[in-house]
């Protein structure tokens, strides 16, 4: 009897062990299967395809924008609806297309599922590379996903920008800049992965702006270094040709205008500050028409506040509120739409300190084949000051993505070397 | 009339070419897949001095300088192992103040105008050099500008190239004042901790002194008579191997601070009187003698900069020890002069801070105000008896203390950029330079500015120019 009971107990333990093992294995397997996941699948995808039969290929302007009003941020809808104030704007609807991440990003994400966590101070823990929260539940987790993506690890683009005065219906060419961006840690695609082995200074990202135009800014080269330590401010230097020297720059005023444009340094790519500087709240998910598959950069059309011709597709975005912890910050809040496939921010609204809508910023992207998947790059962006009816559109020409850049390029010696 | 026609025939074809090169939007043009780039500008700078001159009982135009500037860069070889490139700038100008204002023209000797009227000979090719870079090593050979300093306006470490102070003293942008010289620079970046890198500068023969305007011209130094001014050039050493200047610099990054140490063995850009009394008397009476000397000394110095998170400012510091700098001495206040040495220690501390000014932010769309302040001190460490002080120091002082403040912001998306520079010395001299830059469209820039200069007397610091208060206007077409 005793032996039978003992045998039953052993069987029970074995069964429990097997069940636990099964659950663990299936748990891991299901986590692996959950990312990457497309925005639309199954019945929802069929619904979207059915809607596209009616709308895909159509040009939307003030006359028919009401038909897609539910799929546009209210601020953008308002601008299309009132061309007398904002100028004539139209866009084209295209079918939704899934954007597959690179192999490196998929592997890094799946290898680390469930490991990362974010605390109440918005500090990320136990993360090395990849998307830390493939199925985010909170605004902070979404914000960290947005921050973790390295856009192919390296990028070189040429960017041109204008200033549009919507009241006077005139424009001024602001200039042209070459931008090199490279991640030193959190890398997923370009060796060394996940980090340069001798990254003793704790670099997270290096960024170089080289001004080509206008003539009075020509040759200015700005180097910014972001650190893994989120409590540490960026370091910045600029080679100033007028003085033939490299000068240390203050990065304190992240809310300052970039070169006189409507966008601030923090507005770059939607948000370019440390994640821990804000509090986040997931407001909702919203299906919106966003530009993710542009086939060409879109320059501004004279006097019009917005680009025309953007190719927009439906995507189910997270809508997250960013509120700065700095009570004197120039914006009282940002409302950000974040694409769950590319973790880019296609659209955001910025509110002034009195809580009034001040600016909106849109990023129109295009995927570029890279490392077994796709990396999106920003083709066009536009920051609109809705209070002043003023805009700063910019277009980007990607030169390369995911190719090696010598890490010594992100040094002051290199600024001097290139400087004249 | 002849000169106006000459001016027109020079500038008009170049203006047409520039307008054709510049598109409706673009400025700089890149050719050959971005290997060649060209940009430049035309500019007219006009200065009007409202106060009466010494010569005439009315004001006059002291500048109407028309400048053509062209910049070219060419990347000859770009490959992972090494890069070779060329860079050059071309500048010519025509100073028409002498044509516009006969009173100003008559205030100085007509023969001397040619030096200010247009760029001379080879100086038109301001810079021309080649860059060869391979791995951690880079060499730059040719006519160029080298700067080592962190201070704005005070020359402690920035003494490699001389300045042209003849046309608007030191109140223009550094790039417009500095005189490029033929030299060789080399850099080597090590893998040592602290990103240590080395730089060396060697000027084999090319010596250029500080350029000053002749007596009677607006920026001519009153104490320097025309005879002495002409003798500056005559006393200048010939361009030979004896003029060699050499410098060495080491740079490192330590705990977030950029630190540089340098040593530069140089020949002074500013002359002193010869100590040969016979030569001096003979030269003054009969001419043909070299009355001035450009003596050698050694400069040991360094700079430090870093960003301070608490103040949210970039802190800057620079120091220099001029070892064995030469001074004239006189026991009677008049010739004969002696020459004695003294070490001179100078330093600058300052900060740059972009700052949001709450009430201004509502006007300028949250554009920060750039605030830059500096304090500068110079100590003559062992002043010899009877030494003749540099003109920026007080009559009885062995120390100079000066402060500068720069403020700049932008309105209407930086299409309107007001700025001001104030300098003040504790000896009582100073100046105030306000300006407003206005950008119209893609190519045109207007700058309305002015200058107010003061000093206790006409021999100290900016006091020598205390009647030179002026209104300036600059128009620039960029392409």
CATH number at residue B251: 2.40.160.10
Per the prediction, chain B carries an average pLDDT of: 89
Whether A213 has its CB under 8 Å from any CB of chain B: the answer is yes
CA distance B319 to B331: 32
Name the minimum distance, in Å, from the CA of A216 to any CA of chain B.
8
- CA-nearest residue to A172 within chain B is B441
Q: Tell me which of B10 and A343 has the higher pLDDT.
A: A343
Residue A21 lies in a domain: no
Instruction: Show residues of chain A in contact with B145, CB under 8 Å.
Output: 244
Whether B415 has its CB under 8 Å from any CB of chain A: the answer is yes
Question: What CATH number corresponds to the domain at position A223?
Answer: 2.50.20.10
CA distance A415 to A405: 15
Secondary structure (3-state) at A347:
strand
Residue A283 lies in a domain: yes
User: What is the signed CA dihedral for A194, A198, A204, A205, rounded to 10 degrees?
Assistant: -100
Place of tokens 């299967």: A33
Residue B8's pLDDT is what? 46
Name the minimum distance, in Å, from the CA of B427 to any CA of chain A.
28
Tokens linked to B293? 């000397």
Section A117-135 average pLDDT? 95
Residue A199's pLDDT is what? 92
Residue A30's pLDDT is what? 43
- CA-nearest residue to A406 within chain B is B80
CA distance B422 to B408: 12
Secondary structure (3-state) at A78:
helix
Look up the domain containing B7 and give its range.
2-478
The answer to whether B478 contacts A241, with C-beta atoms less than 8 Å apart, is: no
Looking at chain B, how many residues does it have? 479
Looking at chain A, how many residues does it have? 420
Residue B123 phi/psi, 5° resolution?
-65, -20
Whether A214 has its CB under 8 Å from any CB of chain B: the answer is yes
Domains: count for chain A: 1
Instruction: Show residues of chain A in contact with B39, CB under 8 Å.
Output: 213, 215, 218
Report the percentage of chain B scoring pLDDT > 90: 61
Whether B33 has its CB under 8 Å from any CB of chain A: the answer is no
Instruction: Show residues of chain B in contact with A212, CB under 8 Å.
Output: 28, 30, 37
User: What is the signed CA dihedral for A67, A342, A351, B368, rounded to 10 degrees?
Assistant: -140
Chosen for mutation from A170, A252, A354, A418 (greatest number of chain B CBs closer than 10 Å) is A252
Name the minimum distance, in Å, from the CA of B353 to any CA of chain A.
7
Residue B94's pLDDT is what? 95
Alpha carbons within 13 angstroms on the beta-carbon side of residue B358 total: 3
User: Cβ of B322: how many Cβ atoms within 10 Å?
Assistant: 25
Instruction: Show residues of chain B in contact with A235, CB under 8 Å.
Output: 256, 307
Residue A23's pLDDT is what? 47
Residue A219 lies in a domain: yes
Segments of chain B with pLDDT less than 50:
1-2, 4-5, 8-9, 12, 16, 18-27
pLDDT digits (tens, 9 = 90+) for A365-387: 999 888 889 999 888 999 999 99
- State the ipTM, two decimals: 0.87
Chosen for mutation from B307, B315, B367 (greatest number of chain A CBs closer than 10 Å) is B307
User: What is the signed CA dihedral for A130, A135, A138, A141, rounded to 10 degrees?
Assistant: 0
CA distance B445 to B477: 7
Residue B60's pLDDT is what? 84
Place of tokens 């200047």: B245
Residue A29's pLDDT is what? 43
CB A255 within 8 A of CB B356: yes
Name the minimum distance, in Å, from the CA of A33 to any CA of chain B.
41
pLDDT digits (tens, 9 = 90+) for A14-25: 655 554 555 454
Instruction: Show residues of chain B in contact with A215, CB under 8 Å.
Output: 27-28, 39-41, 478-479
CA distance A337 to B53: 66
Greatest Cα-to-Cα distance within chain A, rounded to the nearest angstrom: 97
Chosen for mutation from B27, B79, B142 (greatest number of chain A CBs closer than 10 Å) is B27
Name the minimum distance, in Å, from the CA of B178 to any CA of chain A.
9
SS3 content of chain A, % helix, strand, coil (to 5): 25, 35, 40
- 3-class SS string, chain B: CHHHHHHHHHHHHHHHHHHHHCCCCCCCEEECCCCEEEEEEEEEEEEEECCCCCCCCCCEEEEEEEEEEEEEEEEEEECCCEEEEEEEEEEEEEECHHHHCHHHHHCCCHHHHHHHHECCHHHHEEEEEEEEEECCEEEEEEEECCCCCCCCCCCCCCCCCCEECCCCCCCCCHHHHECCEEEEEEEEECCCCCCCEEEEEEECCCCCCCECECCCCCCECCCCCHHHHHHHHHHCCCCCHHHCEEEEEEEEEECCEEEEEEEEEEECCCCEECCCHHHHHHHHHHCCCCCEECCEEEEEEEEEEEEECCCCEEEEEEEEEEEEEEEEECCCCCCCCEEEEEEEEEEEEEEEEEECCHHHHCCCCCCCEEEEEEEEEEEECCCCCCECCCCCCCCCCCEEEEEEEEEECCECCCCEEEEEEEEEECCCCEEEEEEEEEEECCCEEEEEEEEEEECCCCCCHHHHHCCCCEEEEEEEEEC
Sequence-ordered list of residues with C-beta below 8 angstroms from that of A191, at least 6 positions apart, any chain = none
The answer to whether B258 contacts A412, with C-beta atoms less than 8 Å apart, is: yes
- Residue B282 vs residues B98, B231, B274: alpha-carbon distances, Å: 34, 13, 12
Residue A7 lies in a domain: no
Secondary structure (3-state) at A381:
strand
Residue A36 lies in a domain: no
Whether B254 has its CB under 8 Å from any CB of chain A: the answer is no
pLDDT digits (tens, 9 = 90+) for A231-283: 888 999 999 988 888 999 988 888 888 888 999 999 999 999 999 999 999 99
pLDDT digits (tens, 9 = 90+) for A23-76: 454 444 444 446 888 889 899 999 999 999 999 999 999 999 999 999 999 999
Instruction: Show residues of chain B in contact with A224, CB under 8 Å.
Output: none
Chosen for mutation from B145, B314, B362, B477 (greatest number of chain A CBs closer than 10 Å) is B314
Whether B40 has its CB under 8 Å from any CB of chain A: the answer is yes
pLDDT digits (tens, 9 = 90+) for A151-202: 999 999 999 999 999 998 888 888 899 999 999 999 999 999 999 998 989 9
Residue A3's pLDDT is what? 52
Domains: count for chain B: 1
Whether B477 has its CB under 8 Å from any CB of chain A: the answer is no
pLDDT digits (tens, 9 = 90+) for A297-337: 888 888 799 989 999 999 999 999 999 999 989 999 999 99
Look up the domain containing A405 and give its range.
42-418
């Amino acid at each position: 009897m005793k032996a039978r009971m003992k045998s039953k107990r052993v069987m029970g333990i074995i069964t429990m062990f097997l069940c636990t093992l099964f659950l663990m294995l299936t748990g891991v397997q299901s986590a692996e299967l959950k990312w990457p996941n497309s925005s639309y699948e199954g019945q929802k995808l069929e619904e979207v395809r059915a809607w596209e039969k009616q709308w895909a290929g159509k040009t939307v302007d003030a006359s028919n924008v009401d038909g897609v009003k539910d799929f546009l941020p209210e601020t953008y809808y308002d601008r299309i609806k009132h061309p007398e104030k904002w100028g004539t704007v139209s866009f084209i609807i295209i079918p939704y297309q899934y954007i597959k991440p690179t192999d490196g990003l998929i592997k890094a994400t799946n290898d680390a599922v469930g490991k990362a966590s974010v605390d109440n101070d918005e500090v990320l823990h136990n993360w090395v590379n990849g998307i830390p929260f493939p199925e985010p539940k909170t605004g902070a987790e979404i914000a960290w996903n947005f921050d973790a993506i390295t856009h192919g690890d390296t990028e070189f683009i040429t960017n041109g920008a204008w200033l549009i005065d919507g009241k006077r219906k005139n424009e001024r060419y602001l200039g042209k800049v070459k931008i090199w961006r490279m991640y030193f840690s959190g890398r997923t695609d370009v060796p060394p992965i996940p980090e340069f082995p001798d990254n003793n200074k704790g670099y997270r990202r290096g960024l170089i702006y080289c001004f080509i135009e206008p003539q009075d800014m020509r040759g200015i080269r700005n180097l910014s270094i972001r650190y893994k330590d989120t409590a540490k401010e960026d370091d910045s230097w600029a080679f100033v040709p007028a003085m033939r020297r490299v000068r240390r720059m203050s990065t304190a005023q992240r809310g300052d205008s970039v070169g006189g444009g409507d966008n601030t340094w923090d507005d770059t790519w939607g948000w370019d500050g440390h994640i821990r500087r804000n509090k986040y709240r997931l407001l909702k998910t919203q299906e919106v028409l966003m530009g993710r598959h542009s086939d060409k950069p879109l320059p501004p059309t004279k006097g019009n506040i917005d680009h025309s011709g953007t190719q927009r597709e439906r995507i189910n975005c997270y809508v997250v509120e960013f509120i700065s912890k700095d009570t004197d910050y120039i914006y009282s809040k940002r409302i950000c739409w974040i694409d769950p496939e590319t973790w880019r921010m296609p659209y955001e609204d910025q509110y002034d300190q009195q809580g009034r809508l001040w600016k909106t910023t849109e990023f129109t992207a295009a995927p570029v084949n890279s490392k077994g998947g796709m990396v999106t790059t920003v083709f066009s962006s536009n920051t609109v000051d809705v209070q002043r009816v003023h805009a700063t559109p910019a277009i980007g020409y990607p030169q390369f993505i995911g190719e090696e850049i010598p890490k010594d390029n992100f040094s002051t010696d290199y600024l001097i070397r290139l400087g004249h | 009339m002849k000169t106006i026609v000459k001016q027109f025939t020079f500038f008009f074809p170049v203006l047409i070419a520039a307008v054709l090169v510049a598109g409706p939007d673009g400025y700089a043009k890149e050719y050959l897949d971005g290997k060649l780039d060209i940009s430049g500008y035309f500019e007219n700078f006009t200065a009007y001095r409202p106060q009466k001159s010494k010569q005439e009982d009315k004001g006059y135009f002291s500048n109407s300088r028309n400048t053509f500037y062209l910049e070219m860069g060419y990347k000859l070889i770009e490959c992972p192992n090494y890069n070779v490139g060329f860079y050059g700038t071309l500048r010519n100008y025509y100073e028409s103040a002498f044509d516009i204002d006969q009173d100003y023209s008559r205030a100085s000797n007509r023969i001397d105008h040619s030096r200010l009227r247009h760029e001379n000979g080879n100086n038109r090719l301001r810079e021309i050099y080649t860059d060869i870079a391979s791995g951690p090593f880079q060499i730059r050979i040719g006519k160029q500008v080298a700067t080592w300093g962190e201070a704005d306006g005070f020359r402690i470490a920035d003494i490699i190239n001389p300045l042209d102070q003849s046309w608007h003293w030191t109140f223009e942008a550094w790039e417009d004042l500095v005189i490029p010289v033929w030299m060789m620079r080399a850099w080597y970046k090590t893998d040592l901790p602290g990103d240590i890198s080395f730089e060396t500068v060697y000027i084999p023969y090319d010596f250029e002194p500080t350029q000053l305007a002749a007596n009677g011209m607006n920026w001519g130094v009153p104490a320097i008579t025309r005879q002495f001014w002409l003798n500056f050039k005559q006393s200048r050493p010939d361009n030979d191997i004896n003029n060699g200047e050499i410098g060495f610099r080491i740079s490192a990054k330590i705990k977030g601070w950029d630190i540089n140490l340098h040593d530069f063995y140089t020949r002074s850009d500013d002359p002193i009187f010869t100590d040969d009394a016979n030569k001096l008397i003979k030269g003054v009476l009969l001419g043909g003698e070299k009355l001035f000397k450009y003596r050698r000394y050694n400069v040991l110095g360094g700079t430090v900069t870093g960003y301070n998170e608490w103040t949210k400012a970039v802190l800057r510091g620079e120091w220099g020890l001029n070892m064995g700098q030469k001074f004239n001495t006189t026991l009677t206040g008049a010739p004969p002069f002696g020459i004695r040495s003294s070490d001179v220690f100078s330093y600058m501390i300052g900060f740059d801070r972009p700052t949001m000014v709450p009430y201004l932010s509502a006007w300028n769309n949250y554009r920060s105000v750039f605030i830059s302040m500096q304090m500068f001190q110079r100590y003559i460490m062992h002043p010899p008896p009877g030494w003749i002080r540099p003109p920026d120091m007080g009559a009885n002082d062995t120390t100079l203390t000066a402060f500068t403040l720069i403020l700049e912001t932008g309105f209407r998306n930086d299409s309107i950029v007001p700025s001001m520079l104030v300098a003040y010395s504790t000896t009582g001299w100073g100046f105030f330079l306000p300006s407003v830059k206005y950008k119209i469209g893609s190519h045109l820039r207007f700058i309305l500015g002015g200058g107010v200069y003061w000093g206790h007397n006409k021999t100290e610091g900016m006091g020598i120019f205390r009647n030179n208060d002026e209104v300036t206007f600059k128009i620039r077409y960029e392409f």
